[in-house]
Each structure stands twice: as C-alpha cells, then as structure tokens.
Structure 1
Amino acid sequence: MGGAAMSSKTKIVVLHTKEVIYTGIFVVLAVVLAVLLFLMFGKNKNADPASADAIYHAGVYTSPITLNDNTFDVEVKVDENHINSISLVNLSETTTAMYPLVEPALDALSDQIYTSQSTENITYSEENKYTSMLLLEAIDNALDKARKE
C-alpha cells in the first residue's frame, strides 16, 4: 500500500509539473505577444502625434504681389509648427520709392503674426489698410501652400 500511495503522489506531482510547464509556456508566449504588440503599436503612436501635430511642410514659400506693373514676392519661412520669418523679396528700388509703406506695413504685420502664429485677428492702422490687406492676402496664400492637408 505504501508503494501505491507513493506512486500516486508521484503521478499527481508529474501532472502538476506538466500543468506548471504548460502555464509557464503560455505566460512566456503572452509576454512575447504583449511586447511585440507594444513595439508595433508603440512606434506608430510615437510617430503619429508628431506628424499629426505638424501644421506645415517645413520650407520657404512665396506669393507674388503686383502693384501697377511692379511685381515682388512675399516670402514666408516655416518649420513644421511655426512661422519663422516673413519678408519681401525681389523688391525693386522703384517699388520701394513708389510704395514707401509696404515695408513698414509688413514689419507691423509680421510682429503680430510671429506672436500669434496666425493671420487671424491681425490689426493694422487705417493709413496702411489696403497695403496691409494686400500683404495679408499674400501671406495667407504662401501659408496655404505650406499647410499640410
């Protein structure tokens, strides 16, 4: 009887050992699966917010302005999230002499745009109204080219 009881205990221990081994294998497989899922979806989550938060395609964008046969460009430099600079390019001395308010108007607008990072709710003086509106339209056109869709 003692021998039979001993073998049945050994048999139960062997069954428990097999169950522990199977459980261990399943736990290891579950951990490996969890790590793989984390790595696969973790990279996408880290990459997506950066690209989703980006407003612009970084670069330099221009928009032309024509005033009585004088053409020049508004140049807007942006990185992915910021308007970094706004300037006038290809501006001839003749245009500067004929339209002396263009550069001061752009400076006043640029300061506000850098602060707010937007062309919304920009204020300008009544004496520069039409020049400022023309410049804002050109800046908006350049920013539209830069925006991510």
Structure 2
Amino acid sequence: MFAFGLVAVCTGCASGLNSHQKAELNYYEARGMAVEEKSPGAGAALGLLPGGGSFYGREYGLGVVNLLFWPLSILWDPISGHNAAQSLNYTATKAHVDRIQQKELADLDERLKTGQIDLTEYTLEKRKVDQKYSFN
C-alpha cells in the first residue's frame, strides 16, 4: 500500500503538459517552429536507470528520491523523464517563438520609422505577424 501511495505522489511531481500546452506545442511543431531541447524518448529510457529520467529532465530533487527508491522508481521515473523533457521543450519553444516574433515586430517598427511603409501597411503586416505566431 505504501508503494502505491508513493507512486501516486511521485508521478504527480512531473505531471507534464496540460492539454492546452500539448496542443500549442503540436501547433508549433507542425509549423516547424518547435525546439527540441531534450528528447522525451530518451527521458523515458533513462528513467529505467536509478533516477536517470528525472536527472535528464533537470528535476534533481526528484532524481535523488528516485535514486533512493530504485528499482521501485522504475514504475514512475520513465514517465517523469518523458514529461520533464516535454515540459523543457515546451518552455524552449515558447521562448523561441517569442524571440522570432519580437524580431519580426522590431523589423516592422523600423520599416515604419524609416518611412518604407505607411501606417496602413504597418497595421496589416503587424496583424499578419500576430496571427502567424498566435495559438488560439
């Protein structure tokens, strides 16, 4: 019974992405804008080693716990490693998309400031940039 409770508690430590975040990451992946900082498959595979999935996903405290509870942690650490890698990829993708959107908007602002485009063109182009990077 203790082991079941421990599994329930530890699997909640790295719950991964919620459904909105998963859909958003899929959206960016489909458009070639996603960043894969860590491989979820590698995180899951490393979860079979003592604390490996958690350490791979930069969840060091959970890694130590999983190391101490190995081999029992094999029940949840592959899931933790997969979810942690997916969360890191989501965060990296959001930062990447924000950077490229801000660069495009800064370029657009510069074109307006130098008179290369007028306010009407600027407004239309800005709307296109916002739509390009917006998930909703």
Q: TM-score range by the shorter chain?
A: 0.3 to 0.5
TM-score (normalised: structure 2): 0.33
The answer to which structure, 1 or 2, has the higher relative contact order (CA under 8 A, 6+ apart) is 2
Choose between structure 1 and 2: higher helix proportion. 2
Greater CA radius of gyration, 1 or 2? 1
- Taking structure 1 as the reference length, the TM-score comes to 0.31
